[in-house]
């Protein structure tokens, strides 16, 4: 089975937040919330600064604590690509998943259910990239099957240095950052 993931080239990302707006429009995210966001990490003393800018979202973890802790099964792995989704109708809004997520990727939608990034599965199943990926003016984001060694994402991970976020949480995240 495919394992969908993203590879993000931090050398190209300028942190413009186009991905954030594209997601909001595509998925009708309520005002004041977001499913993806930009983190800028800098260290050092002026003028010797190291800086990484990256776009973040749900990592669609292979060992997702939000799935295992969900009392109703609303949080689940989708049968395509292992994408982690929430079935809105089954969510009781208990927020256990929010507490369990090391990436702070989830929020309570004003309509009462927990919401987050879906990898735009409605687009992916129609052969398109997620909205954030397709809109990025720097082309810094790649979406694909991490289990397919011939995919662009796998190739990039083979050829470039990369890291994931908080790997020590042990959730097996599926988003990687090229450095």
Partner 1 sequence: MNSLSRRRFLKITGATFGAAVAVSSLSEVVKGAEKVEVKTGKKVKGIQKIPTYCDICFWKCGAIAYLKDGELWKIEGNPDDPLSEGRLCPRGTGGIGAHFDDSRLKAPLIRKGPRGSEEFVQVTWDEALNYIAEKMKKIKSDFGPEAMVLFSHGVGGNFLKHLMHAYGTPNDTAPSFAQCRGPREVGFELTFGDVIGSPERTDLRNSKCIVLIGSHLGENMHNTQVQEFSEAIEKGATIITVDPRFSVAAGKAKYYLPIKPGTDMALLLAWMNVLVTEELYNKKFIEKYAYGFEQFQYEIAQYTPEWAYIETTIDPEVIRETAREMARYMPATLIHPGRHTSWYGDDAQRSRAIALLNALMGNWGKKGGFYNPTSVNIPKYPYPAYPKSEKGAADNPNHKYPFAEGEKLSTGLREATLTEKPYPIKGWFVYGTNLTQALPNTQETINAIQKLDLMVVCDVVPSEIAGYADVVLPESVYVERYDDLNNPLFREGFVSLRQPVVDSPNDQKPNWWIAKKLADKLGLQEYFPWKDVEEYLDTRLRSAGLSLPQLKEKGVIRAPKGKIYFDEDEEIEFYTSTGKVEFYSHKLKDAGFDPIPKYTKPEEPPAGYFRLLFGRSPVHTFSKTQSNRFLSGLMDENEVWLNYDIAKRMGIKNGDYIKLKNQDGIVSNKVKVKATERIRTDCVYMVHGFGQRSKMYRQTFNKGASDSQLITKYKMDPLMGGTGMNVNFVTIDWEA
Residues in contact with partner 1 by CB under 8 A are 9, 11-12, 14-18, 20-22, 24-26, 31-32, 42, 44-47, 49, 51-53, 134-140
| Residue whose CB is less far from partner 1, 51 or 92 | 51
| Residue whose CB is less far from partner 1, 26 or 147 | 26
Radius of gyration of the chain (CA): 16
Q: How far is the CB of 136 from partner 1 (least distance, A)?
A: 7
| Residue whose CB is less far from partner 1, 9 or 56 | 9
| Residue whose CB is less far from partner 1, 15 or 102 | 15
d(CA 155, CA 112): 40
| Residue whose CB is less far from partner 1, 139 or 152 | 139
Q: How far is the CB of 44 from partner 1 (least distance, A)?
A: 7
Q: How far is the CB of 77 from partner 1 (least distance, A)?
A: 28
> Assign residue 174 a region: left if phi > 0, alpha if psi is -120 to 50, beta otherwise?
alpha
Residue-by-residue DSSP string for 55-67: EEE----TT-HHH
Return the HEC string of 100-130. Answer: HCCCCCCEECCCCCEECCCCCHHHHCCCCCC
Tokens of 15: 């942190």
Contact 172, 62 (CB under 8 A): yes
Contact 108, 86 (CB under 8 A): no
| Residue whose CB is less far from partner 1, 67 or 132 | 132
d(CA 158, CA 84): 25
Q: How far is the CB of 120 from partner 1 (least distance, A)?
A: 12
Q: How far is the CB of 99 from partner 1 (least distance, A)?
A: 26
| Dihedral over Cα of 178, 63, 129, 104: its sign | negative
Q: How far is the CB of 15 from partner 1 (least distance, A)?
A: 6
């Amino acid at each position: 089975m495919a394992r969908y993931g993203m590879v993000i080239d931090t050398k190209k990302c300028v942190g413009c937040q186009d991905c954030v707006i594209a997601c909001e429009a595509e998925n009708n995210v309520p005002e004041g919330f977001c499913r993806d966001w930009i983190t800028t990490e800098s260290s050092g003393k002026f003028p010797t600064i190291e800086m990484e800018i990256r776009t973040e979202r749900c990592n669609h973890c292979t060992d997702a604590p939000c799935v295992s802790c969900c009392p109703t099964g609303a949080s689940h792995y989708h049968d395509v690509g292992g994408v982690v989704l929430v079935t809105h109708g089954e969510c009781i809004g208990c927020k256990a998943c929010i507490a369990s997520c090391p990436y702070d990727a989830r929020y309570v939608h004003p309509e009462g259910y927990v919401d987050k990034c879906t990898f735009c599965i409605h687009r992916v199943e129609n052969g398109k990239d997620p909205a954030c990926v397709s809109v990025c003016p720097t082309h810094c984001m790649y979406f694909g099957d991490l289990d397919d060694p011939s995919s662009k994402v796998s190739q990039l991970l083979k050829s470039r240095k990369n890291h994931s976020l908080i790997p020590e949480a042990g959730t097996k995240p599926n988003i990687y950052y090229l450095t």
